Amino acid sequence: MINKIAASVAEALADVKDGATVLVGGFGTAGIPNELIDGLLAQGAKDLTVVNNNAGNGDAGLAALLKAGRVRKIICSFPRQADSHVFDALYRAGKLELELVPQGNLAERIRAAGAGIGAFFTPTGFGTELARNADGSPKETREINGRSYVLEYPIHGDLALIKAERGDRWGNLTYRMAARNFGPVMATAARRTVATVHEIQALGTLDPESIVTPGIFVSRIVKVDRVATQAGGFRKAA
């Protein structure tokens, strides 16, 4: 019998290793797996590479993980935010490596990892500073049918942490509105994917036409409470 339901966040994250590459879903206030990031902080793994669209804001969540010195490198598209002071200070002090990736290349590199693609040519970033490797050398380029492209490699995760809406014991997932963002892509690209859901449904009751992430991509699901607010809305921490 397949049962991917974990009793707790701690159980789902028990075996994260030092040095792991962790894909973390979320964009803005939507789709951030807050409980799993807190769980990673409690679990203790260090020397992590974190892949997220941003680099944490405020003092909680990803910012807390950074502040605790547990992250060696961050791969993201937009680290600078109004309240990204934890990242800013660590980056300026040279205590955190940054790989800045155009957002679509970030999504596609993750998608490529999940889809078994060895590398791909993309027009995004051609002729810019971001078409360079960390050592400053130019990335490989090629002209194809008169257009110029940059070679980009996949981003594989050891672990993906994502926020979904509903799930079942096979790990099938649905999402809610723009909280979907990186979740379905990251779920495919990691050796192990842990998702939070707000509802666990009996097997067979999720509409098969509505399942966005089939359970094959999911290792564990954990039910967490929805942070509800007034009618029609969810608080920032939802």
What is the binding site for another protein (CB under 8 A)?
A: 27-31, 53, 77-80, 84, 87-88, 91-92, 98, 100-105, 107-108, 110-111, 122-130, 148, 175-185, 212, 230-236, 238
16/106 with CB nearer another protein: 106
Q: CB of 27: closest distance to another protein in angstroms? A: 5
Question: Please, what is the Cα angle at 184 between 147 and 84, to 5 degrees?
Answer: 80
Residue of 165, 181, 162 lying closest to 173 (CA atoms): 165
Neighbours of 49 (CB within 10 A): 19
Q: CB of 21: closest distance to another protein in angstroms? A: 18
Q: CB of 211: closest distance to another protein in angstroms? A: 13
Residue-by-residue DSSP string for 148-183:
EEEEE----EEEEEEE-SEE-TT--EE--GGG-TTH
Q: CB of 188: closest distance to another protein in angstroms? A: 9
CA distances from 230 to 31, 68, 224, 235 (A): 19, 34, 19, 8
**Rounded CA gap, 78 and 178, in Å?**
18
145/230 with CB nearer another protein: 230
* Collapsed DSSP state (helix, strand, coil) of residue 67: helix
Alpha helices by DSSP H, listed for the chain, are 9-12, 34-43, 62-67, 85-92, 103-115, 183-189
Decide: 163 and 26 in contact? Cβ < 8 Å. Answer: yes
41/110 with CB nearer another protein: 110
170/182 with CB nearer another protein: 182
**Rounded CA gap, 204 and 186, in Å?**
24
Q: CB of 15: closest distance to another protein in angstroms? A: 27
Q: CB of 233: closest distance to another protein in angstroms? A: 5
46/226 with CB nearer another protein: 226
Q: CB of 43: closest distance to another protein in angstroms? A: 26
38/126 with CB nearer another protein: 126
Neighbours of 149 (CB within 10 A): 19
130/224 with CB nearer another protein: 130
